[in-house]
Amino acid sequence: MILHDLFTFEFLRVVWWALLGVLLIGFALTDGFDMGVGALLPFVGKNGMERRITINTIGPVWEGNQVWFILGGGAIFAAWPPLYAVSFSGFYLAMFAVLAALILRPVGFKYRSKRDSQAWRNGWDWALFVGGAVPALLFGVAVGNVLLGVPFHLTPDLMPMYDGTFYGKFLGLLRPFALLAGVVSLSMLLMHGAAWLTLKAEGPVQERARKIGTVAGIVAAASYALAGVWLAIGVDGFAIVGEVVKDGPSNPLYSEVARGGSWISAYAERPWIIIAPVMGFAGIAMAVMGLRAGREVSTLLWSKLAITGIISSVGLTMFPFILPSTVDTNSSLTVWDSSSSHLTLFVMLVMALIFMPIILAYTSWVYKVLWGKVTEADVTGNPTSY
């Protein structure tokens, strides 16, 4: 209990806000290149062998990479219950579309070689394309909607109510700014997938990946810059007005929130957060130059830096908001009023400090064992390859 008392409620809330960001970034850094490779599959592989090489660059690791997705969902459920309730109910159809697309990946991997038919394999290759491109796009659309605000409100007993029709819960998410955020996400992960293929493949697959990845990186930089300008002049921000209680009860209705101004004002209040978009642009620029120059390891690392910067810029810009409400601004969820209890966050932090290093060590070991390029000989000589 002494340690419990040392970690204040305010501190634990900030830590779990940061850890949630770490888990989401970890998912994008690892499963992100899996999705990018899947989305690139029909374009970098022009024959059966080239597509098998492409698939087998991620075949041994994609399942492990999805652990980050599960951890992120679990962290939202345990550390931020109101966020889990509102987002998983309001974004239900979008979540269903993402999960349906993700389900196509394991099915596509396992079934594409079950019949000796080119049409059969082509069909499953396009299923793998959907399994990579659709989640990459919709994750960005979701982030765009979070920045715009979501039409929900909380009843006096804190039951979340999402406004709008059943179909509007999906189509209503496809707003212009949100779609632009989806383009940022998709192009960013296409670049990341291309960087991975540059490292793991060779020959025609590697060359096509470099060309497509270069274009994707340019699109990512341009769309990210456009999103920043749009956010500055075309999207109203949110702000807590009045006293900010950082260690109070987890009841969003206790806070008074107003809408107006710009999200970009956060950079005047906390100038140091400019490091995030700088990392994003610098990472993209260096990754594109690496792709053009034929560099491999450094290109993937720069791509990871770009993803880290872009995702971090969203969280740092919005802080302390997690999910703003456009219907009732006082129902908006923030770091200070949407968490689990002090004890729950403390116990979770202890578990995270024990198990996260184990997960990271095991993941590092797996990548070390699987280091090296995937060649035609590897694919034909290994009976367990896809």
Q: What 3-state DSSP class applies to 210? A: helix
Residue labelled with tokens 């060590």: 361
CB 140 within 8 A of CB 175: no
Residue 45 lies in a domain: yes
Residue 385 lies in a domain: no
Neighbours of 286 (CB within 10 A): 19
- d(Cα 89, Cα 276) in Å, to the nearest integer? 30
For 325, which DSSP code? B
186 assigned to some structural domain:
yes
pLDDT at 169: 63
Is residue 89 in a domain? yes
DSSP structure class, residue 384: T
Cβ atoms of residues 107 and 147 within 8 Å: no
Give the whole-angstrom CA distance, residue 321 versus residue 296: 38
Say how many domains are in the chain.
1
List of residues 6+ apart from 125 with CB closer than 8 A = 41, 42, 45, 51, 108, 112
Question: Would you state the pLDDT for residue 4?
Answer: 56
pTM of this prediction? 0.92
- Res 246: pLDDT: 86
pLDDT confidence of residue 182: 96
Residue 45 token pair: 């592989």
Give the pLDDT confidence score for residue 170 in this predicted structure.
67
Structural tokens at position 281: 């642009």
Q: What is the pLDDT of residue 184?
A: 97
In terms of residue numbers, what domain contains 200? Answer: 2-379
Q: Give every CB contact of residue 245 below 8 A, 6+ residues apart in sequence.
A: 254, 255, 336, 337
What local confidence, expressed as pLDDT, does residue 1 receive? 52
pLDDT at 221: 97
DSSP states of 327-370 as a string? Answer: S-GGG-EETTTSS--HHHHHHHHHHHHHHHHHHHHHHHHHHHHT
Query: Among candidates 293, 209, 203, which has minimal Cα distance to 36?
Result: 209
Q: Is residue 384 part of a domain?
A: no
Instruction: Decide if 268 is inside a domain.
Output: yes
Find out whether the peptide bond into 320 is cis, omega within 30 degrees of 0. yes
Cβ-in-10-Å burial (0-12, 13-18, 19+) of 218 comes to middle
DSSP 264-292: GGHHHH-GGGGHHHHHHHHHHHHHHHHHH
Q: Is residue 157 part of a domain?
A: yes
Low-confidence ranges of the chain (pLDDT < 50): none
Contact assessment for residue 303 and residue 195, using Cβ atoms and an 8 Å cutoff: yes
Instruction: For residue 386, tell me if it sits in a domain.
Output: no
